[in-house]
Structure 1
Amino acid sequence: MPRATSDRFTRAHQPSAKSKASSDASGSSAAARNPIFNTERFGQHILKNPQTAQSIVDAANLRPTDKVLEVGPGTGNLTVRILEKAKHVTAVEMDPRMAAELTKRVQGKPEQRKLEIIIGDFVKAELPYFDVCISNTPYQISSPLVFRLLSHRPLFRVAILMFQREFATRLVATPGSALWSRLSANVQLYSKVDLIMHVNKNNFRPPPKVESSVVRVVPRDPPPPVEFGEFDGLGRIVFSRRNKTVHANFMAKGVMEMLESNWKTWASVNEVMVEDNVNFKQKVEQVLQETGFAESRAAKMDINDLLKLLAAFHDAGIHFA
């Protein structure tokens, strides 16, 4: 993943004499068509309201010793405020044009020494150590960003993240609510999530078609001793039709075949003898009946319910990953 200090990045993007002359000739019409703010290719919308930007940074309660990871800095409206309070900022930006603007913004200032820019895809980037993450998240990486952060080690202290409002409200949803989902359960298993504020779409340039919200994510430390793939695998089944019974979801087409294949693979890897002519469907139904969750519905099951069900399946040698 290419990294660049402000100095190196600026030199690499100096305009040629020909392009500068062309720019001068175009005059004010070029300014009106400034391509910097044509961000649709990367799904990015620049936060322009200074009060909102300051509120987001304040919510992080930054310390002078903090190293901050910022995702999607754009032209730096959040970045410059973070740099005032933190020891160091690593900004991950997909769009080289935005990275160039951010570089120019700190050029020759004391903050330049505190800023590192990584140009590329956050999902694939090699992340440094960080205490705090702040993000005006491009909508298309919302889910990968959350789970990349929660799987990062060592654990960070807090993340202040802006998402599309529907996604944010799913993160903080509670069992029994309309938006309680596999996403809600997965995130809340590994972290505490709070809604901080709503942000109107007119706070951005260009304005998105949807409203946004900011959430605070604090990882559970220590993290629960649960393999994510197992918990998520169970969630995929029970939340596939959240208002149907758990039993009905396990009886859905293809589920039993997949689980039986997983069971035999697990048994082979762990050198466990598999009984001949075992009735696997009956084995699954027995777990559901004994735990009392056969007639439960995922829409109302909390994380403890899901963990109890997962543990019972594991006791029976049935795995989901």
Structure 2
Amino acid sequence: MLQNRQDSGCGGGGGANSHFHLRIGSIFIILVGATSGALFPVLAKRSKQINLPPYFFEFAKYFGSGVIFATGFIHLLSPALDALGSPCLSDAWTAYPYALALAMLSLFSLFVVELVAFRWGTARLARLGIPRECDTTSGHHHVHHEKGDEEAASTSSSGPDSALAQIISIAILEFGVVLHSVLVGLTLAVNENFIILFVVLIFHQTFEGLGIGSRLAFLEVDKKHNWVPIAAALLYGLTTPIGIAAGLGVRSTYNPGTATASIVSGTMDSISAGILIYTSLVELMAHDFLFNKEMLAASNGRLVFALGSMMLGAALMALLGKWA
């Protein structure tokens, strides 16, 4: 059995070393693409010089939701099933769908963590004397007259509870995407089909960055923590290049086809898949459509625009899964 596995490419040895200079260049190319995708919505939202129409941010937000949704299923769960079902692994690994079990465990763990976080946050707000739900009656009308329509619109759909929800949601999403991006970079550095994977990942990381950035752009933080969305966008942009650099550093010993590499990548992909599937379904889709009073009362045109943007993001990312 061991001999058969070695013959099928399951033995040791390093990864591919072709196009080495371009592999080094990919660090900087993907850094620019991923960082630009994540940072542009954040800076554009804050800049007075970049006067983008509101529907641009609407498109970016819903397009990004679709990207994240497809990433969880096509770019994470499917590779995890392949990795943990690899013929290089022992029969104990292939006798049970561990990829699905780990994704389910990750998803359910996030639900419990978020539930505990909300209970703790709500209790803390109560001790501080801050109501859990924002006041939408007389207080809202007062704000409307004193601060103007634009700020009133922002205040009427936000508050301490929604701000807490945003922070938790973004933190979960960022963790899942960062974990995935490091592994993607490591794989790119040693993959035999480098050129195809490289081209696909430029679009993949840029689209995914747009999804992260469009959420970070509307993260409600005070002036003291105004740097957080920018730092989160930069962190996303750095993760894949860091993974590529690490992969190039160990290319002589790291072989993505070995049993150990399959177990590590399959486990990380499964956990990330659970995170992104939970985030896209619960934090993004449900909160943006089902639990959003503004969207429920929106015109049919705006609803079609939002759904179309999300489907476009999911379709493009799913299509990229044909090559990566």
Superposition TM-score, scaled by structure 1 size: 0.21
Q: Which has the larger radius of gyration?
A: 1
Question: TM-score under structure 2 normalisation?
Answer: 0.21
